[in-house]
Structure 1
Amino acid sequence: MNITKENVDDLNALLKVTVEKSDYQTNVDKALADYRKKASIPGFRKGKVPMGIIKKQHGRNVLGDELNRIVSEGLFKYVDEQEFEILGNPLPKNDIEVEGDFNNPDTFVFTYEIGISPKVDVKISGRNKYEYTKVKVDKKLVDKQLEDLTRRYGKLVSGEKVGEKDMVLGQFVELNEDGEILEGGVMNSSTISMEFIEDDKLKKELIGKKAGDVVIVNPANVSRGGKDTASMLGIEESELGSISDKFQLTINEVKIMEPAELNQELFDKLFGEGEVSSEKEMREKVKADLVQMFEKDSEKILTRRISNDLIKKTDIQLPEGFLKRWILASQKEPLTMEQVEADFPNYARSLKWQLIQNNIFKSNDMKVEQEEALNYTKSLLVNQYAQYGMPAPEDAELTQSAQQVLTNQKEAQQIYDMLAEEKMTKFFKETVKLDEKEVDYDEYVKIAQDSNA
């Protein structure tokens, strides 16, 4: 077998794969002999069917399978041995027919197209300066966190009137177009949380209501998405499209979250026995935890800023036509070229960032080692145990669990990606100049949500 490369331009090339009869005949003959041994055809004893009949029935398929195997393995080996890198995988050139006769097989020539990965030169140094946004962890933010913590560990008690953060227990009854109870309609008792209602008009209408009061609501406006709406009404999510958007909500009871007291029992629950012994110490601990938590978010914002800038400033040309055809051919779910075209800018941006990352890793001899991935996975598992209030198992068992996680290709890729992102962020913080800027929480949230920030 012989493979030759013909350059179309700097980013596209054709690979011509020439397969001689000597490359495939032995395996084809062996496969046909196996068919002959197993063939059961009336008029012939098992294993004695003439080879001519076997070839007529199976010869073309066997030859096609063997050629596919040889060509695929050959292409993979050829690409792996080259100095250039490709994007995607080789695609059969649809407008060039296979050279060769399947009825009288001898030499075959297959033509594939490839997209060549462009040369990437990333320019980033200590002269580059980027804003490093930090959240101002002030008394207001600490107070809010304390309120959330005391509510989380508080208890529900009966209330007289509906407040902004209360829970409402009531009965939902479906109404018809005339606003009357629909015969045979949906009827279910459930709970809604006032905190999650985003419709300000409806929220205002509910505040102050008491047990026994009736309000007309759209179930979608007092729940959090399809699954939550269906669960609240006691129906399947698939039934939502066939029900009314008007329901009578009769309030049966109002529940108020009574915050937990700032005492030693709460301190021990939150931070471990004896770790905190006063409200002042709790505030200091909460502030430190908030600073640490927001640091991770600040690093993500920084990395996003730098990636946006590098994508914009780094000249990267892509073999777009090839990539679109490859995306169309490689998807498991049916896809049209129109859909590929519509989403291609996002794909191209993601690919450019991947190429930039690869260049930075290669230029700075950065790697994600297997041992790092194992230890990182173990730390993730330890955190999971802690979240459920459980002690982590012995190291041997923990290592075995981490190894099991890494056998899952999807989960392993996510872990390697997270590690790569951490290394990239560390590299940026050590390489570029940081212009630190403190902002209040609300502005920080807006910046974090802005993909262009």
Structure 2
Amino acid sequence: MINMEVVREDIDKLNALLKVKVVPADYKSKVETKLENHRKQANIPGFRKGFVPMSLIKKQYGTSVLFDEVSKMVSEAINKYITTEKVDILGNPMPKDGDGFEGDFSNPSDFLFTYEIGLPPKIDVSISKKNKFPYKEVEIDAALIQKQSEDIRRRYGKLESAELVGENDMVLGRFVELNSDKSVKEGGVDHSATVSLEFLDSDKVRKKFVGKKVGDVLNVNPDDLSKGPKDKAAMLGVKEDELDGIGKKFTFTITEIKCMNFAELNEELFLKLYPDNSVKDEKTFNDRIKSDLEQMFSKDSDRLLHKVVFDELMKKIKVSFPEAFLKRWIKQVNEKPLTDEVLEKEFDGYLKMLKWQLIEKAIFESHDVQIDQKELVDYTKSLLIQNYSNYGAPVPDEEELDKNARKFLQDKKQVDSIIGRLAEDKLIELCKNTATLKPKKVKYDDFVKEFN
């Protein structure tokens, strides 16, 4: 076995060089064997197969074979060195610009290859009782239960025609675009659509509709009735890129009014919602809503805890990176050409993601937290079961489910995504079991703001 010399030279705490010296004794035998194989297979006019003079083979293939074999040996030597010496690196080793190679493949003798490596900053972090994190939970009050009850009743209610517009009704009508003098614009927008008053942001605009009847005409601004350009374009029946040429003055003629009559709180509704007959009256219905909301929001509380831990540790821990090396490496490995302008724009986000990965890794190493293959497969199976359930499809047997999960994990992007989710779950569990959490009940609206 050939053991080529690999020497490490540290430039600073974040950058180093790996120098690989290759002498003829390292590559001579491999190159000769490769050339002999070429000789046996070569079909050159004037010579029988397998009897081509070696001088001709060397002239035709010598340099390329030498280059391929030496490059392969150097790569193997560097990988072996990194593994054996347990060198923690960022990205991959890269040939040093300018003077990264010494030697002549046309006149082979000794070769010297120099590679740059980026080193991760040292991070010493763990979770203990000294870490104090707020753990916010949604206060499940009567108003929230009532709102959820109304949402359920609306979902199972019936849409019926109404004579007058109510605050939460759906109003069908015809939009007609006007000129600045309020005359109908020739060739302007003329489109029928629906306005759901329940989802309007402005109470003032909603009140303009309330009490109106079929045939009434209102002066409206489409911006007040839509949520952004995409929604506005769909409402007016135009393409989004056509909005700049459309004015803000319109008439809206009401053609139909639809009112949602909520489902009654009775045994029929309860059985639809809970076939196990566990809910029999309004009190047990509200109790069930509260229980379901607590379960749902507990997962959101965990996610918020992860966000709090992320923000605090990212702010507290100061690190530096071999930025010049990383920029070169990113440009080299990117699938599509990357301009310096785009790289600079995205680089801070990349460093932020890298910093968190290193913090998370340090925490897991400190607490001996690992993600093994079985966990990965089991977690993937649980996600697949959830997907089957969401689409109303039957869950396959264990053997088929396991096969599907392993096939799913052949996609590296999916693997990275699932490992990320598993790591998040493990960090949350670690913090809940190890850190000091300070529970606090907050209103639903305040809780939602925490995620923004």
TM-score by length of 1: 0.83
Would you say the 8 A contact 1:175–1:244 is kept in 2?
Answer: no
| 1:90-109 matches, cutoff 5 A | 90-109=93-112
CA distance in 2, matches of 1:403, 1:34: 43
- Structure 1: give runs of 5+ residues left out of the alignment: none
CA distance in 2, matches of 1:219, 1:128: 48
Partner in structure 1 of residue 35 of structure 2:
29
| 1:127-138 matches, cutoff 5 A | 127-138=130-141
Q: 1:427 aligns with which of 402, 426, 430?
A: 430
Partner in structure 2 of residue 395 of structure 1:
398
Q: 1:158 aligns with which of 143, 157, 161?
A: 161
Would you say the 8 A contact 2:35–2:65 is kept in 1?
Answer: no
Match of 1:272, SS state, is coil
Distance apart, 1:158 and its partner CA: 1.9
Partner in structure 2 of residue 445 of structure 1:
448
CA distance in 1, matches of 2:63, 2:248: 65
Would you say the 8 A contact 2:126–2:366 is kept in 1?
Answer: no
CA distance in 2, matches of 1:76, 1:14: 14
1:330 aligns with 2:336: no
Deviations 1:167-206 (A, max 9, x none): 3334456677887766666665444433444466655555
**Which amino acid is 1:154 matched to?**
G
Partner in structure 2 of residue 350 of structure 1:
353
Match of 1:113, SS state, is strand
Aligned-residue Cα RMSD (Å) equals 3.7
1:222 aligns with 2:226: yes
Would you say the 8 A contact 1:27–1:66 is kept in 2?
Answer: no
**Which amino acid is 1:360 matched to?**
I
| 1:38-437 matches, cutoff 5 A | 67-172=70-175, 188-198=191-201, 203=206, 205-212=208-215, 213=217, 215-218=219-222, 222-223=226-227, 226=230, 232=235, 239-240=241-242, 244=246, 246=248, 248=250, 249-437=252-440
Distance 1:61 1:258, change over 3 A: farther
Would you say the 8 A contact 1:93–1:113 is kept in 2?
Answer: yes
User: Who wins on radius of gyration, i.e. which is larger?
Assistant: 2
Would you say the 8 A contact 1:196–1:223 is kept in 2?
Answer: no
Deviates more, 1:368-377 or 1:102-111: 102-111
Would you say the 8 A contact 2:164–2:212 is kept in 1?
Answer: yes
Distance 1:303 1:241, change over 3 A: same
Distance 1:89 1:162, change over 3 A: farther
Distance apart, 1:343 and its partner CA: 3.5
- Aligned-pair identity in percent equals 44
Deviates more, 1:393-402 or 1:4-13: 393-402
CA distance in 1, matches of 2:284, 2:145: 12
**Which amino acid is 2:255 matched to?**
N
Partner in structure 2 of residue 10 of structure 1:
13
**Which amino acid is 2:246 matched to?**
S
**Which amino acid is 1:366 matched to?**
V
Would you say the 8 A contact 1:220–1:229 is kept in 2?
Answer: no
**Which amino acid is 2:31 matched to?**
Q
Deviations 1:367-426 (A, max 9, x none): 112222222222222222333344433333332332222222222222222111111111
Would you say the 8 A contact 2:160–2:260 is kept in 1?
Answer: yes
Match of 2:264, SS state, is coil
Distance 1:18 1:220, change over 3 A: farther
Distance apart, 1:322 and its partner CA: 1.9
CA distance in 2, matches of 1:334, 1:194: 48
Deviates more, 1:47-56 or 1:415-424: 47-56
Match of 1:448, SS state, is coil
CA distance in 2, matches of 1:417, 1:296: 16
CA distance in 2, matches of 1:156, 1:124: 54
Deviates more, 1:301-310 or 1:331-340: 331-340
Distance 1:105 1:437, change over 3 A: same
CA distance in 1, matches of 2:150, 2:317: 47
CA distance in 2, matches of 1:317, 1:97: 25
Deviates more, 1:351-360 or 1:213-222: 213-222
Deviates more, 1:127-136 or 1:157-166: 157-166
CA distance in 1, matches of 2:206, 2:39: 78
Distance 1:61 1:152, change over 3 A: farther
Match of 2:101, SS state, is coil
Deviations 1:56-108 (A, max 9, x none): 88776666555554444443333222222001112222232522224434443
Distance 1:221 1:110, change over 3 A: farther
- Structure 2: give runs of 5+ residues left out of the alignment: none
Distance apart, 1:163 and its partner CA: 4.1
Would you say the 8 A contact 1:35–1:54 is kept in 2?
Answer: no
